[in-house]
Amino acid sequence: MEDVKNHITQLQQAFTQELAETHSLEALEGIRISYLGRQGKIAALMVQLKHATLEEKRILGPLLNTLKAACESALLTKKKQLEELMQSEATQQERYFDVTANIPANQQGSLHIYTHLIEQLENIFISMGFTIVDGPELETDYYNFEALNIPADHPARDLHDTFWLSNPGFLLRTHTSTVQIRSMQTIKPPLALFSTGRCYRNEATDATHEFMFMQGECLLVDTHVSIANVLATAQTFLQRFFEKEDLTIRVRPGYFPFVEPGFEIDASCPFCTQGCSVCKRTRWIELLGAGLVHPHVLQSCSIDPEKYRGFAFGFGLERLAMIKYNITDIRLFHSSKLSFLTQF
């Protein structure tokens, strides 16, 4: 019995000491559970008491009950003290605050580089009198190939690694030249149109190739259109885009079934005169596919090729941006890399 009495005294002392060292409500709750919980130290003593004699129970029972009540009331007092302390600390903190504290700036979103590019391009073409048009990304064989003078057996189809849909005749457009047909079917010439949009090609991805990319397409149809018009338009556009008034262009023959003649337009390197890493030391940068609209294309849109002529050119948005902003990997455009995205 003396053992149990000693145990009670020790328990009381340990409890008082632990309580004194407690400075938080969480720790206080820990003490409550460890002493007064159902599996706690006092409950364990109560269990032991079951095996004691009646005489022992008469002495130890009240002792244990007193211990339990003392612990409960001490816990309650301590809890009140801690709550008051916390309350006064909170008030203190509100009263004294550091006006010079460095608060991290709010994370602010920025427009995506594609949004910036489209805005720049559209502004340039609108300023030259062009109208902005749009077309669907999900297209048919007719708009992507057939009406653009690329019939089913045409070898040029092999150059477009097409994503065909399981629905026969449907595909994801491989270029924005589709918009030429859609627009000419609904808008009567004279017309001057510009369009940007996503295109898809089923090819392996690397630093300069993506299976999804953006193109820009320019089309003008009128009665007296010549190569001089396409060259002047292309040069003005590129000068404004690269913000370089003395940018010049050169023309090389190029084959695209929907134009005749067809050519490729290079711009003089906007960054050097002697050759640099951007132009691969050639001083020229290949940028646009262009030409005079093929009579077959005009005919497929019920426009008389004897009366009207047109010019068209197309380009990749990413390529333009990669040169202008020195971006080395096309995959960044669709990445979620904030260090890249927040620059624009």
User: Can residue 191 be called a binding residue for ligand DAH (CB under 6 A)?
Assistant: no
Residue whose CB is less far from ligand DAH, 135 or 291: 291
User: According to the binding rule CB under 6 A, does residue 313 interact with ligand DAH?
Assistant: yes
SS3 annotation, 124-164: HHHHCCCEECCCCCEEEHHHHCHHHCCCCCCHHHHHCCCCE
- Under the binding rule (CB under 6 A), the answer on residue 290 touching ligand DAH is yes
Q: What distances in angstroms separate CA 161 from CA 16, 148, 157, 210, 219, one per listed residue?
A: 81, 16, 8, 12, 24
**Size of interface with ligand DAH, in residues (CB under 6 A):** 11
Q: Which of 177, 183, 233, 268 binds ligand DAH (CB under 6 A)?
A: 177
Site string for ligand DAH, 245-284 (x = CB under 6 A): -----------x--x-------------------------
Determine the interface stretch with ligand DAH among 48-56, 203-211, 310-318, 333-341 (rule: CB under 6 A). Answer: 310-318
Q: For ligand DAH, give the closer residue by CB, 65 or 131.
A: 131
149 contributes a contact to ligand DAH by CB under 6 A: no
Smallest distance, ligand DAH to C-beta of residue 256, A: 4
In angstroms, the CA 51 to CA 85 distance is 44
Residue 312 interacts with ligand DAH (CB under 6 A): yes or no: yes
Q: How far apart are CB 149 and ligand DAH at their closest, in Å?
A: 11
Stretch that binds ligand DAH, among 20-28, 78-86, 137-145, 288-296 (CB under 6 A): 288-296
Q: Which helix (H) or strand (E) holds 171?
A: strand 170-172
Tokens 């849109």, residue located: 301
Contacts of 256 (CB under 8 A, 6+ apart): 156, 262, 289, 291
323 by DSSP, 3-state: which? helix
SS3 80: helix
Nearest to 258 by CA among 170, 337, 174, 197: 174
* Site residues for ligand DAH per CB under 6 A: 175, 177, 217, 256, 259, 289-291, 312-314
